[in-house]
A and B are shown apart, each in its own frame.
Chain A
């Protein structure tokens, strides 16, 4: 297996003098480029392109219209925000099954605050704060149970999935709670430069996620923990604390998604976000993030989300049922993972 060219320590090898510190950092070979994020995302761009072409051919009048494209993006936005948090958790080698339920719970908690008697005195920003706090809190609980309680992430978040949904039902008494605050609804349905605020939120969360992963010590440590948890621990990284914050971020993203869905549906209900966790995981994996952790990109996830949203749209445009959609989704997931296994193993032998 690990046969390396034995040039270690021999005197003949002169180091290539890479002392040209003025040039910008990377000196990547073509192989590195292709195996890097650009190369991996290339396949996703192509997949998306194919879907767009199929859409444009099968529904030429409607598909390519600006309003339809905005519809696609709007539909992608909520699951997209959840997927960004999910990406970070999965890169670190974890999983969060609870995001959909937490989103439902946060939506219910926020609307209840708004329909209480004292709602009149509250500014609608409080609703947002409550949704975010519920998401963050649930995420923190996940994180603490996983990191410090040493419960497997799958089980801990499965428990949260069940419990958060149940709590949401208790709070909502199984009713749909209308959001009375007009300003809140109006704000979340604003458009800025002709683009819905929901899409902007997704874009901002994705950008922040990208920066967090690629440009900060937090992101570096996330990748290291996913790549080799024990090595990260022995290098002096506080793995437990870091893990806790990762789930907190995933929960916060679910809170943001709750605010978004309140804006879109104008109501909070315990059924919000059902099965979103699976859609998010699918988008993350299709986007090229390894489920075992250590490798993944935010850009890939954004593409993954867009691919599924576009697929849904193409099917709706062609009046195909959601059942057919589900089958197609399944096939795409399998194909994506198969392709990933073929091409995403670049760091092989030197």
Chain B
């Protein structure tokens, strides 16, 4: 283990373990955070990041190990105690109250009051000051938080942290809900904080962000620290991936295959438009072809997929599957024609989390597993088991609730759903969001295999690298327009970004 320690640590974690009902979530975590640094904590899903955060935030108490704060051993029995010490936590699911104003949120629980009456003007004044410190003086203290974007809610959450006397902020994947511009803004705010001497523990699994913002890195794997205090500047990415996954990641993307000459056009989208979102979108996808939509968040890429699928009702244009036009705004028609969508938000849009794997797999084709409306659950389980084997879905138990699966395996449930249904067109929106690095390569291979089996595939991803690596043809999109259609091999990430920037400016 590498360690660099010149300054006394602000927070020091040594050998912390934590088990839940016999499952060991943390098996020995070490971590030193210096004052005013951005300390990135990297790890795949299940590495123990969330448990570590909650241990520091006073939500969980460690079974063993030691936590020291400014050189003294401390216990953090409650979230209040953490704040008392000077540790604030920004969870991924932001804990702001939508119905209250910004000022009310910031001082929630420690209202500025006299004799039980809140002093609104004083709270507003202090709120303005906090927002100014965070570079967001454009926000009004009296705005209702429910009307704010995710990015601005984060700012409110940060302002709340700063309203206490805080020396350390833990941020749990703060960029997950932000688009490119908002992420830049977030980094700016983080810089402000560290300049003021506040340390930041930044949890992420996006390697590229660490380069931009981090000072030092701690890597967790299987609840253990595999490396700590790595300087960001001279730790190569391959090394980080090795530390996170325990193996080398040589070729992530499977090689493209040439589409046979006579491959029929399966999906034909003709000057499709949705007022105010995108217009004049046309493209065709042949059997075996993978089309990628590249563009920033807000460019309309997800909306295009959803409109092709009928989940949104197109205002202009047509969608044809194998030559037959689909009824506008009808998911049922799209599914019957053989289109399948794996939606952007897997958990809220894709899965019935409480239900077992097999129910989720057969959701689109239940009627096929029924005679006169009566279900044959044995046939359902058998079909699911076949998919489990084919896709290497784990755990290999059709009765396991979808909720208990990892992101990668939940993605496989959705692929299995459409394979069972027998689709010809697969629309994949962010197929690897929330899927850890190790499992991604597997998903990529599957997607390639599905294409090779004759499916027409359209993928959308905020990771341009992913679009370029998987797709045969790339549509570059900005502001609801297709800027350019070209073979993926003819462009790189910078090329796409250049196009997008120009397109957005125009």
Interface on A for B, CB 8 Å cutoff? 1-10, 13, 15-16, 18-19, 21, 24-28, 32, 215-221, 223-224, 227-228, 230-238, 294-295, 347, 349-350
CB A225 to nearest CB in B, in angstroms, measures 9
CA distance A26 to B359 in the complex (A): 13
> With contacts A2-B50, A25-B378 known, is A347 near B401, CB below 8 A?
yes
CB A234 to nearest CB in B, in angstroms, measures 5
CA distance A221 to B355 in the complex (A): 12
Which one, B48, B363, B436, contacts A237 given CB within 8 A? B363
CB nearest to A19 among chain B residues: B385
In this assembly, does B117 line the interface, its C-beta being within 8 Å of a C-beta of chain A?
Answer: no
Which one, B51, B366, B389, contacts A221 given CB within 8 A? B366
- Which 6 interchain pairs have the tightest Cβ spacing? A236-B335, A350-B404, A6-B46, A227-B352, A15-B396, A235-B363
> With contacts A8-B408, A224-B352 known, is A236 near B51, CB below 8 A?
no
CB nearest to A230 among chain B residues: B349
CB nearest to B21 among chain A residues: A349
CA distance A1 to B51 in the complex (A): 7
CB A309 to nearest CB in B, in angstroms, measures 30
In this assembly, does B149 line the interface, its C-beta being within 8 Å of a C-beta of chain A?
Answer: no
CB B27 to nearest CB in A, in angstroms, measures 12
Chain B, interface residues (CB within 8 Å), range: 35 or more
Q: Quick check: B350 and A9 within 8 Å, CB to CB?
A: no
CB-CB contacts below 8 Å: B334-380 with A: 334-336, 341, 343, 348-355, 359, 363-364, 366-367, 369-370, 373-375, 377-378
CA distance A5 to B48 in the complex (A): 10
CA distance A294 to B382 in the complex (A): 24
CA distance A2 to B353 in the complex (A): 12
Residues of A within 8 A of B21 (CB): 349
Residues of A within 8 A of B382 (CB): 21
Which one, B48, B367, B385, contacts A18 given CB within 8 A? B385
Residues of B within 8 A of A6 (CB): 44-47, 222, 406, 436, 438
Q: Quick check: A216 and B45 within 8 Å, CB to CB?
A: no
CB A342 to nearest CB in B, in angstroms, measures 16
In this assembly, does B399 line the interface, its C-beta being within 8 Å of a C-beta of chain A?
Answer: yes
CB nearest to B434 among chain A residues: A2
Give 18 CB contacts A-B under 8 Å: A2-B50, A8-B436, A9-B442, A15-B394, A19-B385, A21-B382, A216-B375, A223-B359, A224-B355, A227-B352, A227-B355, A228-B352, A228-B353, A231-B350, A234-B331, A236-B421, A347-B353, A349-B23
CB A345 to nearest CB in B, in angstroms, measures 10
> With contacts A3-B45, A215-B374 known, is A8 near B406, CB below 8 A?
yes
Which one, A1, A3, A8, A232, contacts B48 given CB within 8 A? A3
CB A223 to nearest CB in B, in angstroms, measures 7
Interface string of B315-348 (1 = CB under 8 A from A): 0000000000000000110111000010100001
Q: Quick check: A8 and B439 within 8 Å, CB to CB?
A: yes
5 more contacts with CB within 8 A, not counting A216-B374, A228-B351, are A4-B46, A8-B408, A9-B442, A234-B309, A347-B404
Q: Quick check: B51 and A3 within 8 Å, CB to CB?
A: yes
Q: Quick check: A294 and B352 within 8 Å, CB to CB?
A: yes
> With contacts A223-B355, A350-B400 known, is A9 near B438, CB below 8 A?
yes
Residues of B within 8 A of A233 (CB): 311, 331
CB A17 to nearest CB in B, in angstroms, measures 9
Q: Quick check: B311 and A234 within 8 Å, CB to CB?
A: yes
CB B82 to nearest CB in A, in angstroms, measures 17
CB A315 to nearest CB in B, in angstroms, measures 37
CA distance A227 to B439 in the complex (A): 27
> With contacts A2-B50, A349-B20, A350-B404 known, is A18 near B397, CB below 8 A?
yes
CB-CB contacts below 8 Å: B389-433 with A: 389, 392, 394-397, 399-401, 403-406, 408-409, 417, 421
CB nearest to A294 among chain B residues: B354
Q: Quick check: A238 and B373 within 8 Å, CB to CB?
A: no
CB B483 to nearest CB in A, in angstroms, measures 28
Q: Quick check: A231 and B349 within 8 Å, CB to CB?
A: yes
Residues of A within 8 A of B355 (CB): 223-224, 227
Q: Quick check: B399 and A228 within 8 Å, CB to CB?
A: no
CB nearest to A28 among chain B residues: B399
Interface string of B32-58 (1 = CB under 8 A from A): 000000000000111110110000000
In this assembly, does B381 line the interface, its C-beta being within 8 Å of a C-beta of chain A?
Answer: yes
Residues of B within 8 A of A3 (CB): 25, 45-46, 48, 50-51
Q: Quick check: A218 and B373 within 8 Å, CB to CB?
A: yes
CB A212 to nearest CB in B, in angstroms, measures 9
| Most chain B beta carbons < 10 A, residue from A6, A215, A218, A228 | A6
In this assembly, does B199 line the interface, its C-beta being within 8 Å of a C-beta of chain A?
Answer: no
CB B70 to nearest CB in A, in angstroms, measures 29
Q: Quick check: B352 and A216 within 8 Å, CB to CB?
A: no
| Most chain B beta carbons < 10 A, residue from A15, A216, A220 | A220
CA distance A3 to B359 in the complex (A): 23
CB A82 to nearest CB in B, in angstroms, measures 24
Residues of B within 8 A of A230 (CB): 348-349
CB A235 to nearest CB in B, in angstroms, measures 4
